[in-house]
Structure 1
Amino acid sequence: MEFICIAKTTKLDVLEVNKKYKDVLSITHKAKFNNLLVVEAYSKEALESTGLFLEVEKSKKFKLANVDTNFQVKTEIDKRYLKSTQSLGWQVSVGIIDSGIKKGDCAKLIETIDLTEYKNSLGNTHGTIVGKIIEGFAPGALLTSIKVAHFGEDITSGRIIKSIDIAVDLDINILNISLELLMDDDYGNECLGNCKVCDYVNTAVEATDMIIVSSAGNQGEDEGISIGCPGRAEKAITVGATNEENKLSSTSSKGDQTFLKPNILAPGFVKVISDQYYKIASGTSFAAPVVTGILAAVYHTLGKDDAINYMYQTCIDLGYTKYEQGFGLIDLKKFTEVAFNEGISSSSARQR
């Protein structure tokens, strides 16, 4: 069983501890931030009995949506607005924490890292769709696939923390995390952005120059706060979804009056095309990479902070509450008009 622990000392020697307590635990990863450790053990009580840890938390379980088909991917947003500004995301590094992408499925996939035992085989096409959406908006971006899932419901907190560390080591500019907490997990809804995973997302964003984009989740028909971790993290850009009528999707997860997430909405449906037919794949998993792709496209032109701020400022207010729509639906036409007129002009004036 996997646990996420906070060590009592920053000087804890992993090799020594694993040797001394080999019948009790195995530390599988020492995280870069927050003094966290990913630990395998039989029970929480066994870990606590060692006296090594300030806190011990059972690892959460996360899932992806299942999508099985051979495909091309088309979103409904007109990308010409980006192309007209020559914003193609050249040399921007984008990490994708997901179900993996095969070499050749995305043109600029430069590295594949597998944290599962399945290695080069893929059990789910979810990650490929996410990668293709990002690539559609930012064809010049350099993609790194970090595979944390094979079938879709085999993701743990530890894998997400390891993946974020990998992204930091690789100096990733934007990290896309299109997954959600399994709501039947022991932890349910109790996190308000302060669980170990959300804290780790916040710390990674603050300690680096990385943007982390997360899907809100697809539990919008549930009562109360339905957004899942890591979309609950304050520093994540949490993305909800609209449907084909440009209205809030009934399944798009939401916050409440005390928890104002998501941050933004994007179209959550894509046409998955194969030969002479297509089907619609939908969910916040596919809304998040729309935002990731657009931010990647303008990252070097506008800079991180201006790109995010102008994206928020130019959203379309759909008339929902702040905790259902955030700033509203992303408007690529208005975003490029405002950012590349007012934004670039003000930036040039400041530089003078």
Structure 2
Amino acid sequence: MRYIIRFHDKLSDSQQDILNKLSLDIIYQSKFLPLIGVITDEPEEIRGLDFVKSIREPAVGSFMEGEFYTTITFEPPLHKSLLVKNQMFGWGDIRVAIIDSGVNSDVSVTESKDFTGTGNFDVINHGTRIASIIKHFAKGCNLYSAKIGNNEPDELNMLKAIEWAVEKGVNIINISSGFKRNCNSDCELCQLISQISKFGVAVVVAAGNEHNMEDTIYCPGRVDDAVTVGAIDRNMKLASYSSIGKPGSGKPNILAPGNGYINDSRFEGTSFAAPVISGILAAILYKSGNVYKAIEYIYRT
């Protein structure tokens, strides 16, 4: 079985020696948090160690299935004229990571990484669609695809993928999936996003599709440092399916169209609102050169 282990603090040499003597294989070690991922059949011997804060199985989330085509229209309509007019069309070395179900050859990516062991092919065309929407707004950006699941995103794979994306020097990470839980921003995933945001990486996360119910933002969209994206419908109102946070939480941070068509295939969900913001953010970032200013700009406008 696979487990996520969180420690109270950075491991000392003696504590590392204790771990090395246990029946486990370390498959992930965070560079930002006192956190590892392991394979073991004896979790109880780990749980009993005084320097272990928690040990648990990784959560499994959900993707929204869909097909991929090339012509995109949104409800309400979105136009690129402002971006083109201001020469903010996403050219240059702006790097966007898509942590999702993979990206097929329909969309060009700079580099792909499979964390599932099943190959980079996007079985459900979810990540491929996300990539297409980002490219719609930031045609010249460099995409990095991290596959973390076929039909369902895996939390441990997501942790690995986020750190891989940071190693690749990405400016923006798009996460159009999540985990339905009340983590209060203190889970390992939210804490990792808080850490990498300090290094100038914008993490754009879909809010979730829980039908306007309060306090239903998916993890990791709950964390303050994430740019959490809800959806609007064709009438410019909050989409009936879009999740919202606790009163006063400010979540979602921003709204974007989550409905539209790729050729004749309809899409709907906050999964597809998030890459609208990621794409526009990439275009603005090319012009501004500062991720914090770019985020501030989209919040203002």
Q: TM-score, normalised by structure 1?
A: 0.78
* 1:21 partnered with 2:22: yes
Task: Report what 2:293 is aligned to.
Answer: 306
Decide whether the 8 Å contact of 1:265 with 1:287 is kept in 2.
yes
Q: Which piece of structure 1 moves more, 5-14 or 49-58?
A: 5-14
Percent sequence identity is 33
Higher relative contact order, structure no. (Cα contacts within 8 Å, ≥ 6 residues apart): 2
Q: Alignment partner for residue 161 of structure 1, among 159, 162, 170? A: 159
Q: Which amino acid aligns with 1:126?
A: H
CA distance in 2, matches of 1:165, 1:2: 18
List gaps (5 residues or longer) in structure 2: none
| 1:62 match: secondary structure | coil
Q: How does 1:322-341 map to 2 (within 5 A)?
A: none
Q: Which amino acid aligns with 1:170?
A: K
Shift of 1:118: 1.4
Shift of 1:307: 1.7
* 1:236 partnered with 2:226: yes
Task: Report what 2:283 is aligned to.
Answer: 297
Task: Report what 1:135 is aligned to.
Answer: 135
Q: Which amino acid aligns with 1:225?
A: D
With over 3 angstroms needed to count, the CA separation of the structure-2 counterparts of 1:138 and 1:14, relative to structure 1, is: farther
* 1:93 partnered with 2:95: yes
Decide whether the 8 Å contact of 2:73 with 2:260 is kept in 1.
yes
Decide whether the 8 Å contact of 2:5 with 2:37 is kept in 1.
yes
Q: How does 1:34-183 map to 2 (within 5 A)?
A: 34-42=33-41, 44-51=43-50, 53-68=52-67, 70-75=69-74, 76-90=77-91, 91-103=93-105, 105-107=106-108, 109-151=109-151, 153=152, 155-181=153-179, 183=180
| 1:197 match: secondary structure | helix
Shift of 1:252: 0.4
Please report the RMSD computed on the Cα atoms of aligned residues, expressed in angstroms.
Answer: 2.1
* Greater gyration radius: 1
Task: Report what 1:2 is aligned to.
Answer: 2
Q: Alignment partner for residue 260 of structure 2, among 263, 270, 289? A: 270
Shift of 1:221: 4.5
Q: Alignment partner for residue 212 of structure 1, among 185, 194, 203? A: 203
Q: What are the superposed Cα offsets for residues 118-177 of structure 1, whole Å, 9 maximum, x if unpaired? A: 1133211010111011001000101111111112x2x22211111111011111011101
Q: Which amino acid aligns with 1:161?
A: L
Shift of 1:20: 2.1
Q: What are the superposed Cα offsets for residues 272-300 of structure 1, whole Å, 9 maximum, x if unpaired? A: 21xxxx12101000000000000100103
Q: What are the superposed Cα offsets for residues 26-75 of structure 1, whole Å, 9 maximum, x if unpaired? A: 22100111111112234653421345523223322221111135554333
Decide whether the 8 Å contact of 1:18 with 1:26 is kept in 2.
no
Q: How does 1:194-209 map to 2 (within 5 A)?
A: 194-206=186-198, 208-209=199-200
Q: Which amino acid aligns with 2:102?
A: G
Decide whether the 8 Å contact of 2:229 with 2:255 is kept in 1.
yes
Count how many residue pairs are aligned between Structure 1 and Structure 2.
Answer: 296
CA distance in 1, matches of 2:300, 2:195: 25
| 1:180 match: secondary structure | coil
Decide whether the 8 Å contact of 1:44 with 1:58 is kept in 2.
no
With over 3 angstroms needed to count, the CA separation of the structure-2 counterparts of 1:14 and 1:160, relative to structure 1, is: farther
Q: Which amino acid aligns with 2:292?
A: D
CA distance in 2, matches of 1:177, 1:78: 23
| 2:97 match: secondary structure | strand
Q: Which amino acid aligns with 2:4?
A: I
Q: What are the superposed Cα offsets for residues 52-111 of structure 1, whole Å, 9 maximum, x if unpaired? A: 5232233222211111355543333101211111112122011110111123x224x111
CA distance in 2, matches of 1:165, 1:72: 33
Decide whether the 8 Å contact of 1:14 with 1:27 is kept in 2.
no
With over 3 angstroms needed to count, the CA separation of the structure-2 counterparts of 1:310 and 1:19, relative to structure 1, is: closer
| 2:39 match: secondary structure | strand
Decide whether the 8 Å contact of 1:74 with 1:133 is kept in 2.
no
Shift of 1:116: 1.0
List gaps (5 residues or longer) in structure 1: 315-352
| 1:175 match: secondary structure | strand
With over 3 angstroms needed to count, the CA separation of the structure-2 counterparts of 1:49 and 1:202, relative to structure 1, is: same
Q: Which amino acid aligns with 1:83?
A: V
With over 3 angstroms needed to count, the CA separation of the structure-2 counterparts of 1:81 and 1:157, relative to structure 1, is: same
